[in-house]
Amino acid sequence: SAATNVSVVKQLGEQYYRDAMEQCHNYNARLCAERSVRMPFLDSQTGVAQSNCYIWMEKRHRGPGMAPGQLYTYPSRRWRKKRRSHPPEDPRLIFPPVKSENPRAR
């Protein structure tokens, strides 16, 4: 009977852990989706315009390691052309004016 109780507790513990990981994954996915809708945005502390980085990989993309000591390998990302920048609405993001090299060209 004691062995049965330990087995049930272990099973419940593993299920609790799986549920917690699933909830964490769903929360992070929702958070990333909400952030991508707001992109690009100006980071108030650094003054850097943040944009989507495409660095996250799903577990299904994971492959076996190829080199000694390497646990996993991931496929390389497809190259994406950067979007053309539109005139920013935030005045802190405006490009500085280009100065003419010829002083008489005014």
Tell me the pLDDT tens digit for each residue of 45-66.
Answer: 888 877 766 667 778 888 998 9
Are 42 and 92 in contact by the 8 Å Cβ rule? The answer is yes
Whether this model's pTM surpasses 0.95: no
Alpha-carbon separation of residue 45 from 35, 89, 95 (angstroms): 17, 18, 19
Would residue 36 count as lying in a domain? yes
Q: Residue 2 has which token pair?
A: 């004691």
Quick check: is 12 in a domain?
A: yes
95 domain residue, yes or no: no
Give how many domains the chain has, as a whole number. Answer: 1
Q: Is residue 33 part of a domain?
A: yes
- The alpha carbons of the chain give a radius of gyration, in whole angstroms, of 25
pLDDT digits (tens, 9 = 90+) for 15-33: 888 888 889 999 988 887 8
Look at residue 98 and tell me if it is in a domain.
no
- Residue range of the domain that includes 35: 1-52
Task: Judge whether 38 lies within some domain.
Answer: yes
